[in-house]
């Protein structure tokens, strides 16, 4: 047990008031602006309101919320009063949300208006939910007890003192499919918030109080919550939050209007910006761009830097480590590389037998550092597989050069990372097999012309049926979160298999690459 009192919310907010910086802008954007003094007041009052509702320390509070001041306040208030904030993807459908709500045992769920209908449907299948907190009033026929977000804030007039948490107290759960399939919650400590700031935020980004941070990755991502909450608030800087769904045109307009100095996105979005009509001068205010979520192809780095005049530092992180642990550095960028180990972390490459590999030889990547999660909630076997002593097995295969730069060779398994988000082929295959026209299927990754991974479905039609590619993609979109849908459907006469009947995914990936390469040519 750690005897050091430490609360991540106090670290991020209260200490700036104590330093006399309450008038600085903490959060801004189209949904509202708050100074640090206003943010501190709202966080303390909302924490008190949650206590009044009966939320107890170490209970989970699940959030399905867009990026706006209320979301930041809710996360910070939950941590302040000793409970556990669980922001989850806003891309999930009601069935998927219900699964996460039940898994987390959350009794309180908070939603912004865009996602309230899906959440209201989800909680009907989650009997543990006692209260649904909404920004806007619900329909009259709502069956789950509802509180308005503003009423929770108002009920906390006597602002609560922070709960006496320690560095090792639970603070945040982030759900991830990670390297092992079904969503599971990585459990993070209060102390991890300071660790990712000290290592990456301060020593790699060099973030300053005059910085303005704008992230395409949302707050429910480990990448996004660091970019838009932990780093700017820890430094006394400003976070730009935009609740709108990110599009190249919308993001470019926000960058021009809000003039951020640090811009965060993933390779897919950098490619989308290059393919759009975004003016070359749109990023004049940005001193540094950051990429993570999947490896940034060197060609996208070159084209973006040349067109917009802003350098990108690519890095590797994970939900399990809370943020980036290998990264390029400003002024020391090697395109096509993930960079070097971030201060505060160690990395090693091991072969299949667990022996270290030499520089220049491929190996499975392991990392350790103080921000690594305690494990997965209620997933003992998977926790033991991924969290091995002090070391986290990332599921990536890398090569380390003699100069310490790491280069990604891909995943050590068959998971697909589309747009920076893990996709389980088995989950997509299960959905495809529900369609009457599909007899067999395999979902694999295809590397497009920009070097980015896309899910591709290779299917064998059911007897007497004809496969319609567009219909199948729509069928997946209806039954799964949109990012999980296959981008292409290829119809094959049969799926290649081993002598024991196992699908040969390596062969299928090559078939898909050959067919799509010919189609593209």
Q: What digits encode the pLDDT tens for the residues 327-341?
A: 999 999 999 999 999
Distances (CA, A) of 285 to 170, 255, 256: 37, 8, 8
pLDDT at 1 over 50: no
The top-level CATH class assigned to 8-397 is: alpha beta
Neighbours of 281 (CB within 10 A): 10
- Which stretches of 190-261 are assigned E, i.e. beta strand? 212-215, 238-240
Assign residue 185 a region (left: φ > 0; alpha: ψ between -120 and 50; beta: otherwise): beta
Give the alpha-carbon dihedral of 99, 104, 108, 110, to 10 degrees: -60
Taking residues 70-87, what's their average pLDDT? 98
Confidence (pLDDT) at 182: 78
* Region(s) of the chain under CATH 3.30.300.30: 416-520
- If 0-12 CB within 10 Å is exposed, 13-18 middle and 19+ buried, where does residue 441 land? buried
* Angle between helical axes of 425-432 and 469-479 (0-180°, round to 10): 110
* Token digits of residue 183: 């969503």
- Which stretches of 362-491 are assigned E, i.e. beta strand? 363-369, 387-388, 391-400, 406-411, 416-418, 421-423, 438-447, 453-461, 488-491
Q: Which of 36, 183, 177 is nearest to 97 (CA)?
A: 183
CA–CA dist 406, 329 (Å, integer)? 13
Taking residues 115-133, what's their average pLDDT? 95
CA–CA dist 73, 44 (Å, integer)? 9
CA–CA dist 60, 82 (Å, integer)? 10
pLDDT at 375 over 90: yes
Q: What does the DSSP 8-state code read for residue 356?
A: B
Q: 416-520: which CATH topology?
A: GMP Synthetase; Chain A, domain 3 (3.30.300)
* Token digits of residue 219: 């707050």
User: pLDDT (tens digit, 9 = 90+) per residue, 62-75?
Assistant: 999 999 999 999 99
Residues with Cβ within 8 Å of residue 402, at least 6 apart in sequence: 359, 360
* Region(s) of the chain under CATH 3.40.50.12780: 8-397
Identify which has the larger pLDDT, 354 or 268.
Answer: 354
Find where tokens 């209908």 sit: 117
Q: How many residues does the chain have?
A: 521
pLDDT at 414 over 80: no
pLDDT at 298 over 80: yes
**Strand, helix or coil for residue 128:** coil
Taking residues 427-438, what's their average pLDDT? 89
Taking residues 394-399, what's their average pLDDT? 91
pLDDT at 18 over 70: yes
Angle at 220 between CA 415 and CA 136, to 5 degrees: 135
Find where tokens 């998927």 sit: 96
User: pLDDT (tens digit, 9 = 90+) per residue, 272-286?
Assistant: 899 899 999 999 999
CA–CA dist 323, 6 (Å, integer)? 20
- Give the mean pLDDT of the chain: 93
Identify which has the larger pLDDT, 217 or 141.
Answer: 217
Are the C-beta atoms of residues 62 and 185 closer than 8 Å to each other?
no
Please report which residue ranges of 210-297 form alpha helices under DSSP H: 222-225, 231-235, 248-258, 267-275
């Amino acid at each position: 047990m750690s005897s050091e009192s430490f609360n991540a919310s106090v670290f991020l907010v209260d200490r700036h008031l104590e330093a006399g910086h309450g008038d600085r802008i903490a959060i801004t954007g189209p949904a509202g602006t708050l100074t640090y003094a206003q943010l501190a007041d709202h966080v303390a009052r909302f924490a008190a309101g949650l206590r009044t509702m009966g939320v107890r320390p170490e209970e989970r509070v699940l959030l399905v919320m867009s990026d706006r001041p209320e979301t930041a306040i809710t996360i910070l208030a939950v941590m302040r009063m000793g409970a556990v904030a669980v922001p989850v993807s806003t891309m999930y459908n009601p069935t998927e949300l219900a699964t996460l709500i039940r898994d987390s045992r959350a009794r309180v769920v908070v939603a912004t208006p865009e996602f309230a209908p899906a959440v209201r449907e989800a909680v009907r299948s989650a009997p543990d939910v006692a209260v649904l907190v909404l920004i806007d009033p619900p329909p009259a026929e709502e069956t789950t007890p509802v509180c308005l977000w503003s009423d929770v804030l108002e009920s906390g007039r006597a602002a609560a003192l922070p709960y006496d948490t320690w560095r090792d107290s639970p603070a945040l759960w982030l759900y991830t499919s990670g390297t092992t399939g079904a969503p599971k919650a990585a459990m993070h400590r209060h102390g991890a918030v300071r660790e990712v700031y000290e290592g990456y935020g301060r020593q790699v980004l060099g973030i300053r109080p005059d910085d303005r941070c704008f992230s395409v990755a949302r707050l429910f991502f480990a990448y996004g919550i660091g970019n838009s909450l932990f780093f700017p608030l820890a430094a006394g800087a400003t976070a730009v939050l935009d609740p709108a769904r990110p599009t190249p045109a919308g993001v470019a307009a926000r960058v021009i209007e809000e003039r951020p100095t640090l811009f965060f996105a993933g390779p897919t979005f950098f490619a989308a910006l290059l393919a759009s009509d975004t003016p070359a001068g749109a990023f004049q205010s940005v001193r540094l761009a950051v990429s993570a979520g999947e490896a940034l192809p060197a060609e996208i780095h070159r084209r973006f830097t040349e067109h917009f005049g802003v350098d990108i530092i690519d890095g590797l992180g994970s939900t399990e480590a809370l943020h980036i642990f290998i990264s390029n550095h400003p002024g020391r960028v090697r395109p096509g590389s993930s960079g070097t180990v971030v201060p505060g972390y160690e990395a090693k490459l091991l072969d299949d037998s667990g022996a270290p590999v030499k520089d220049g030889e491929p190996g499975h990547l392991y990392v350790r550092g103080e921000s690594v999660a305690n494990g997965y909630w209620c997933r003992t076997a998977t926790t033991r597989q991924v969290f091995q002593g002090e070391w986290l097995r990332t599921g990536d295969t890398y090569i380390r050069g003699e100069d310490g730069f790491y280069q990604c060779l891909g995943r050590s398994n068959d998971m697909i990372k589309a747009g920076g988000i893990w996709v389980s082929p088995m989950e997509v295959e299960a959905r495809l097999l529900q369609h009457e026209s599909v007899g067999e299927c395999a979902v694999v990754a295809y590397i497009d012309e920009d070097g980015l991974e896309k899910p591709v479905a290779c299917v064998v039609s059911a007897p007497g049926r004809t496969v319609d590619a567009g219909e199948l993609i729509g069928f997946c979109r209806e039954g799964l979160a949109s990012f999980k849908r296959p981008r292409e459907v290829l119809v094959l006469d049969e799926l290649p298999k081993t002598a024991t009947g196992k699908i040969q995914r390596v062969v299928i990936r090559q078939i898909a690459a050959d067919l799509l390469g010919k189609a593209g040519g």
